[in-house]
Structure 1
Amino acid sequence: MNVEIRSDREEDKEKALNTKAFSDSSAAELPADSAASADESACPAIVELPCVHCGLPTRVRADADPQRIFCCNGCHGAYDLINGWGLSDFYALRDQMTSAAAQGVPGQRSRYDVFDQPEFLGDSAPKPQSGGLLSTDLALHGLHCGACAWLIENAAARIDGWQLARVKMSDHTIRIVFDPQRVPLSEIARTMDRLGYQVAPLTKQLDDHFARENRRLLIQIAIAGFCAANAMWIAIGLYAGEASGVAADHRMFLRTIGTGLGLLAVAVPGRTFFRGALASLQTRTPHMDLPVALGLSVGSVAGLINAITGRGDVYFDSLAVLVFFLLIGRWIQFRQQHRAARSVDLLLRITPRHASRILDDGETQAVLADNLQAGDRIRVAAGESFPADGEIIAGETTIDRSLLTGESQPIRAAVGETVLAGTVNVTRSIDVCVEASGDASRIGRVMQAVEAAAARKTPIVQLADRIGGIFVIVVTTLALVAFALSARDNWQQGAANATALLIVACPCALALATPLAIAVSLGRAARRKILIRDGSSLQQLAGTGTIWFDKTGTLTEGRSRVVEVIGDRDGLASAAAIERDVCHPIADAILAAADLPDDFEGVAAAGEDNSTAGTDSSDEATARTQIAIGGVLGEHRGAAIAAGSLKFIQSQGIEIPAKLSQAAERLTAQGTTAIVVARDAIAITVLGIDDPLRAGADVAIAELKRAGWRVGILSGDHPGVVRSVADRVGVPQSLAIGGLSPENKLDIVSHHSPADPGSAELHLPEPAPGLQVMIGDGANDAAALAAADVGIAVRGGAEVSLQAAPIFIASGRLGSVVELVRGARRTARLIHITFAVSLGYNVIAVGLAMAGRISPLVAAVLMPLSSVSVLSLTLASRSFRERDEPERTK
């Protein structure tokens, strides 16, 4: 079933261009008889050709230059801008992908056939509706605005059997109601894909649990708030009546209404605390819900008796307020826990759920990726992620490996090379023989390590929890003592003293202090572009320990450039010629340098220069062969060219003059990558390629060391390069470790050295005591970010790393790490101050209650003061200041 949908923009363009084309044609203005006699060459015909930039059909004169056809001024401007920036390769790559799509990928239509399998859809499996219809909710990708939703919903009316489409912009989901007898769900999914929107099954278990629990807590807060507000107004009327006089029947009416509201707050939203107290008693574990429940019980009983007898005070206004504030604190904590759980859930969804398995007859069949076995052959189309580790058996493509390595540029891959699950096939469809899938794949093992590290990581216990058990025992014991001391003379006075003590000492402020202080700090940090997922990380960063930096893209910019050319400068042009189609940062650096003028001051030339043709890199190489590791072979101007690392050139049996060999070793010792270029089996040039340090890296590290932190570098780069970077930023050589795998990094930040470092060149430190903090920007660091006590992801890293780390610095500035540490310490001080105020208040109030100096009424008035003081102190704090930059060294 094919559905052709044309946008209003395309129609408007065509109308405008039709008008322009015919107005520009003199033949169109001539009468029919004159046009027939006009010279054909002077009045060329109008033809339809594609726009050079966007590809839309455009009506132009037949003699128009096919390389300068534009459907509108916007495309014309974009084309000139792209070529002006030297990015014309964009069109070549686009044409390759368009050609592959036009030829069609065998089995491509089966991509969505899996949507007809209920076991694949899981939580999104269609549910029966009346009239034989089915309904399903799917995740919707590619949604941008209300116009997108309108297009999808109106497209449903054009498909026979698609009864309803309802798009939710808030969470990017779509509800589809369809008749399975007339149209399968897979056909609907294909139609939406043609519209430019991809659908996927929902994983709703975690979100549904959160929605239900969040709704329940909000309802409880709403009920408690309603009861508290009205009970307080009634209490104000009663207090005023005590001073000015009130009729007995009015007094009884207000007391009855206030009692009803208080009982409602205690019995409905307050039952959460009674459940916690019951669990505390059953497990014999002191919990802060115990004194809360005890105070609510005693206060409710005493207040109810006083309300019935018409004597004494009722405390239901204070009880309702207590329930309201405690529920708010619990809701804040619940949302923080959900954010952490959802991040882990998203982390585990990085590989596709289905794959296209190749059958014996060459056709493909959609299967669950978890069902793939070693030896299966699968087909992966351009733009899809690899569902399993394997070896390419047919085709050639480029692969985006940033998910695993953090590399910003795709690399070329051909038959015989290994591909990894979770990486992305960029350009062409290829066939792969599966070697490992699921948990056995490399990304599966990394995810297992992430999950295990997250499970092992015991969260910092809030200060309230650390003293909660003692507080519960002390308050409960003191309440019993107060009752016993007074009950000998007057049991009612003993009950009043105990009730006053439990009410005034109820840990409302203790429960609010930490989540409120952290919530305020998180909000202020977010305004500074520091996004913190887990509040406990702030408390941990208030201490000291070791901060480990990844090198590439964290301490450096991740942007390679040629900084030195040694030997025959014509080698640069030769290297650029054979590297032209290689997708790699080093190839990009060589191509960029080859396009620069010879006297460009950013590239230093050294040694002899025999170049007669400058650095013209426009010559195309022939017979180029991609080598898996180390370099590239090809031909340029009739000569055999090789370009790669010193080790690669040596492995090819190429002669390297002593001068160039020494230059390559010198560059490596300086921390610069050395690329050797050879012509006809003789090395002629050495290129020095450097990755610049981020601005302020040395200043930020100096500030961290001044604050008491040990600072080190963990990198997979060459140890010599890592040591050179360490010298430049002020990191001790003993803490600058290169040549590490992701597993090595995980072991180091997990407080022990790698059991199998895998390289004799590794110089590993002794296990360091104290807090371990990992800062990285690539998914290669995902396991280490999760295993560290605190993981910090910076701009440029893969999404998986951002999900593994509890802190994300959106600005990417290393100075923000210093801001983060300072803000964490201010937050810790704020928590200590609020706890001191709260505990001081409780000590004084409890002493007065035990002495009988505070009545339950006064206790009810004093109780909110502790919460108000905590709130005031928190809001007045400045944990993350607007201007908090490290001082720059002169």
Structure 2
Amino acid sequence: MSQAQCYHCGLPNDRNHKYETKILGEVRQLCCPGCLAVSEAIVANGLEDYYQFRTEPAQKSDDSILETLDTLNVYDEPALQEEFVFNEGKDKQIQLTLEGITCAACGWLIEKQLSKVEGIKQVAVNVQERRGLVTWSSNTIKLSQILAVLKRIGYSASPFHPDEHEASYKREQKSFLKKLGLAGIMTMQVMMLMAGLYFDWFGAIEQQTRQYFYWVALTLTTPVVLYSGSTFYLGAIKALSARTVNMDVPVTLAVFGTYIAGLRSTLLEEGEVFFESICMFIFLLLLSRFLEHRSRHKAAQISANMMQYIPVSATKIDAHGRLTQCLAKQLVQGDTVLVKAGETIPVDGVVIDGSATVDESMLTGEFNPVLKQQTDGVYGGTVAQDGSLSVRVTQSLKHALVNQIVRLQASAMAAKPKAAQLADTFSRYFVMAVLLISGLTYGFWSWQNNDNAFWITIAVLVATCPCALGLATPSALTCAMAKLNRQGILLKRADALEQLTGIDTIALDKTGTLTQGVFSLKERWFAKGVNPQLTMAIAITLEARSEHPISRAFSGDPTHTIEHFNVTPGGGIYGDIKGTRFYLGSASFCNVSDQSMIPFAANVFLCAKSASAENTLIAAFLVSDSLRNDAIETLNSLTAHQLIVLSGDTQQNVDNLVSQLPIEYAKGGLSPEQKYNQVQQLQQNGKHVLMMGDGINDAPVLASADVAVAVGNATDVAKTAADVILLGDSLQSVPTLMQVARQAKRTIRQNIAWAIGYNILILPFAVSGLLQPWMAVVGMSLSSIIVVTNSTRLLSK
């Protein structure tokens, strides 16, 4: 081929632009960026011999490849990334909508291909929701390059946005319905023709008329094979291009094998045809995929589309008190918005004026409205039913709770349970085994001179397709997580569901977990010579900076300036006021050894320390709160587990509380480190521990437990350390969590048992030739439908 012609496709080269690459040891000239990209890919994948053995030039490649890459470069703009890219330490993270996913093998393929790319730290694909979570180093790779890699392996990706994601789902559903509708109509027509021939419904007809019917059946079957079945062929091509196999490979072999054999028989007017089996196979397989598609969308809607509750606009109050309309996503921390009766709160914030009852059911699953007053927190997407609120924005829309929930749901699927990992691995090896068994089956029956060797092999390929096995675990997990979302329970790790079924010990914090966390001052004591008003003002100033629930008992506005403020988790707080350092917290934290002068069992102490004196006790307080209304009922339903309390409060207060509860062991006066050590000791003794907490001091022990649960009013630190977050205030969510975990495990076991059992049971019948192709079609499709239907039962249990 001359230098004036493209080495890849043979067309004239571009005189104004030079495209060249090294092929077979020589520099070759190419006509366009498309041919350059394809030829480089061929060389990079070790397929260079293609050029040596080809008999004619390839077709001209798509010269829009670079245009596509230029389009993707837009996503590297910092201003555009501000909306959908999150910082994860030194790395960046994005949630993507993925188009073209057809089964669990697609998710595996994407994860494996992206994990090979330098700079990508983590890839987690949620097949059920058609989304992927990618974490990457921005110093090594750009977002546009990640999207380009996905494009090259056959998947279109774009930053997740609820509206676009919904539009993507509707496009896929429309395509499914077209393919399913065509397959269904043609299947009925072909089956009527072929059934009439098989059962001799038309009487003794001539060979010429029979052949005419075959041609009609072939004509009706062809669009089903080429259009309706294209979903499976594309999946097989993607897998083979990545040098692996998936369940679409045996499906593709079975479809084209049967179709080509039928075409040959029709043309040569000899042999059997199974056009009705092809149509029925594609129709039933598409039907099971469509049912899976709908069920995963139904499950995903409960959590993934929570952003649909957020209004587009908001009423902003400017510095002069004027009301202006703005976009909700333009609100930043510190802005003030007005929410009228019946309106949706646009973003997370704190009420600074007004009161209203707010419907938070979209977050918590609890339909009783909550009264919101000054200083109460409110969340974007909740609805003010009456009254009006002035709300100071604390989080931009990007970091609002509903957005965090959507991100956490995607992250939850990153850590796959062992059952899912085993099922994925088993299904891949099973496909290879099926292909091997099919080859051996054909070889054996051909050796036996059996005329039906080919059709027996087709029956093996169809009957043993592990579609149901690929759906067994992910369909159950998605439905379980969706049900928990509906109950106001947010999972940060999907594998936590599996671990929950092995929990035998439940450890609880006292304050804010078993109790309501609404503290009040029951008793006060002041040392002689101390001004009570001044001392209370100091205590209020210190507590004003604390996030601990106890700080709410010291209500009032701070009147002093404080310096060098510090928090000691599980101990207390201190700060300098007018040159004197004040300590407020537990007796050990304040070095209080003698409490004989205090007429009650104080649990909060205030000490002063100046440059010339040691700690001096100047005040003591008894701060207490009441037991949660549902605490006794909840704990009674969890008595199958060992129940223990680990608290930083005094042992006396802890004993007083647990005396009315079914608690086996209760330990008070624990520091965060001691709580951590207690859980470590339990785990060393073979216990599997679930820890419930809500405060900053609970973060270490939450991180060390097998499963950590943060209650609804927990601090951000506790929520970060937790595996499960209860969005509502009800402890009854915990028994629900345990029950759904058990149901999910049982459903996964049922699905896997059914899928494997069916394949093992049907294989001998298929190999022995007792199974007709149409029988294999019905059995395989029903197996997948049964698995999906069984999983969706979790949503209604």
- Give the TM-score, by structure 1 length: 0.47
Counterpart CA distance in 2 for 1:495 and 1:629 is: 78
Query: Alignment RMSD, CA only?
Result: 6.4
Counterpart CA distance in 1 for 2:220 and 2:292 is: 27
The SS at the match of 1:285 is coil
Counterpart CA distance in 1 for 2:747 and 2:668 is: 29
Q: Structure 1 residues 254 and 385 mapped into 2: Cα distance closer, same or farther (>3 Å)?
A: closer
Within the alignment, does 1:450 sit opposite 2:387 as a pair?
Answer: no
Within the alignment, does 1:293 sit opposite 2:266 as a pair?
Answer: no
Report deviation, 1:558: 5.9
Q: Structure 1 residues 737 and 280 mapped into 2: Cα distance closer, same or farther (>3 Å)?
A: farther
Match of 1:171 in 2: none
Counterpart among 754, 767, 771 of residue 704 in structure 2: 767
Match of 1:241 in 2: 200
Counterpart among 210, 231, 236 of residue 277 in structure 1: 236
Counterpart CA distance in 2 for 1:362 and 1:423 is: 24
Which runs of structure 2 are paired with 1:418-433 in the superposition (5 Å)?
430=390
Report deviation, 1:290: 0.7
Counterpart CA distance in 2 for 1:735 and 1:684 is: 18
Match of 1:835 in 2: 755
Counterpart CA distance in 1 for 2:373 and 2:631 is: 25
Counterpart among 162, 178, 181 of residue 222 in structure 1: 181
**C-alpha contact 2:695 2:718 (8 A) present in aligned 1:** no
Residues 201-260 of structure 1 show CA distances to partners (whole Å, capped at 9, x for unaligned) of: x96322222222112212322222333344334333232229985543443344333333
Within the alignment, does 1:410 sit opposite 2:405 as a pair?
Answer: no
**C-alpha contact 1:486 1:494 (8 A) present in aligned 2:** yes
Letter paired with 1:701: L
**C-alpha contact 2:645 2:663 (8 A) present in aligned 1:** no
Residues 82-120 of structure 1 show CA distances to partners (whole Å, capped at 9, x for unaligned) of: xxxxxxxxxxxxxxxxxxxxxxxxxxxxxxxxxxxxx9x
Report deviation, 1:289: 0.4
Within the alignment, does 1:263 sit opposite 2:222 as a pair?
Answer: yes
**C-alpha contact 2:702 2:708 (8 A) present in aligned 1:** no
Match of 1:33 in 2: none
Which runs of structure 2 are paired with 1:587-736 in the superposition (5 Å)?
629-632=552-555, 663=600, 665=602, 689-694=626-631, 696-703=633-640, 728-730=661-663
- Between stretches 356-365 and 873-882, larger displacement belongs to 873-882
Residues 55-80 of structure 1 show CA distances to partners (whole Å, capped at 9, x for unaligned) of: xxxxxxxxxxxxxxxxxxxxxxxxxx
Match of 2:778 in 1: 864
Match of 1:844 in 2: 764
**C-alpha contact 1:397 1:427 (8 A) present in aligned 2:** yes
**C-alpha contact 2:441 2:457 (8 A) present in aligned 1:** yes
Match of 2:139 in 1: none
Letter paired with 2:176: L
Counterpart among 521, 530, 544 of residue 502 in structure 2: 544
Counterpart CA distance in 1 for 2:492 and 2:214 is: 44
Report deviation, 1:536: 7.4
Q: Structure 1 residues 829 and 765 mapped into 2: Cα distance closer, same or farther (>3 Å)?
A: closer
Report deviation, 1:297: 0.8
Report deviation, 1:682: 12
The SS at the match of 2:200 is helix
**C-alpha contact 1:286 1:469 (8 A) present in aligned 2:** yes
Counterpart CA distance in 1 for 2:210 and 2:347 is: 75
**C-alpha contact 1:228 1:320 (8 A) present in aligned 2:** yes
**C-alpha contact 2:472 2:748 (8 A) present in aligned 1:** no
Report deviation, 1:304: 1.7
Counterpart CA distance in 2 for 1:647 and 1:718 is: 17
Letter paired with 1:835: A
**C-alpha contact 1:358 1:379 (8 A) present in aligned 2:** yes
Letter paired with 2:253: L
Counterpart CA distance in 1 for 2:167 and 2:382 is: 30
The SS at the match of 2:326 is strand
Q: Structure 1 residues 512 and 647 mapped into 2: Cα distance closer, same or farther (>3 Å)?
A: closer
**C-alpha contact 2:523 2:622 (8 A) present in aligned 1:** yes
Counterpart CA distance in 1 for 2:775 and 2:321 is: 81
Report deviation, 1:694: 4.1
Counterpart among 232, 252, 265 of residue 306 in structure 1: 265
Q: Structure 1 residues 662 and 518 mapped into 2: Cα distance closer, same or farther (>3 Å)?
A: same
Letter paired with 2:765: A
Match of 1:207 in 2: 166
Letter paired with 2:638: I
Residues 137-185 of structure 1 show CA distances to partners (whole Å, capped at 9, x for unaligned) of: xxxxxxxxxxxxxxxxxxxxxxxxxxxxxxxxxxxxxxxxxxxxxxxxx
Counterpart CA distance in 2 for 1:559 and 1:280 is: 54
Letter paired with 1:281: L
Counterpart CA distance in 2 for 1:785 and 1:323 is: 46
Counterpart CA distance in 2 for 1:429 and 1:713 is: 39
Match of 2:743 in 1: 823
**C-alpha contact 2:316 2:338 (8 A) present in aligned 1:** no
Residues 682-719 of structure 1 show CA distances to partners (whole Å, capped at 9, x for unaligned) of: 999998743334454233222356xxxxx788999999
The SS at the match of 2:629 is coil
**C-alpha contact 1:479 1:498 (8 A) present in aligned 2:** yes
Match of 2:294 in 1: 335
The SS at the match of 1:461 is helix
Letter paired with 1:380: L
Counterpart CA distance in 1 for 2:206 and 2:493 is: 53
The SS at the match of 1:380 is strand
Within the alignment, does 1:501 sit opposite 2:501 as a pair?
Answer: no
Q: Structure 1 residues 502 and 873 mapped into 2: Cα distance closer, same or farther (>3 Å)?
A: closer
Q: Give ranges in structure 2 of 5+ residues lacking alignment.
A: 1-79, 84-160, 525-549, 558-571, 575-582, 585-594, 606-617, 674-687
Letter paired with 1:269: S
Match of 1:152 in 2: none
Counterpart CA distance in 2 for 1:767 and 1:510 is: 34
- Bigger radius of gyration, 1 or 2? 1
Q: Give ranges in structure 1 of 5+ residues lacking alignment.
A: 1-118, 123-201, 568-626, 635-645, 652-657, 669-680, 706-710, 741-750, 798-808, 885-890
Q: Structure 1 residues 779 and 752 mapped into 2: Cα distance closer, same or farther (>3 Å)?
A: same
Letter paired with 1:691: R
Counterpart CA distance in 2 for 1:330 and 1:714 is: 49
Letter paired with 1:299: T
Counterpart CA distance in 2 for 1:553 and 1:325 is: 56
Report deviation, 1:301: 0.6
- Give the TM-score, by structure 2 length: 0.52
Letter paired with 1:410: K
Report how many aligned residue pairs link the two structures: 548
Report deviation, 1:317: 1.8
Counterpart CA distance in 1 for 2:776 and 2:354 is: 72
Counterpart CA distance in 2 for 1:211 and 1:451 is: 21
Counterpart CA distance in 1 for 2:726 and 2:665 is: 23
Report deviation, 1:372: 4.8
Q: Structure 1 residues 360 and 880 mapped into 2: Cα distance closer, same or farther (>3 Å)?
A: closer
Letter paired with 1:820: V
Report deviation, 1:300: 0.8
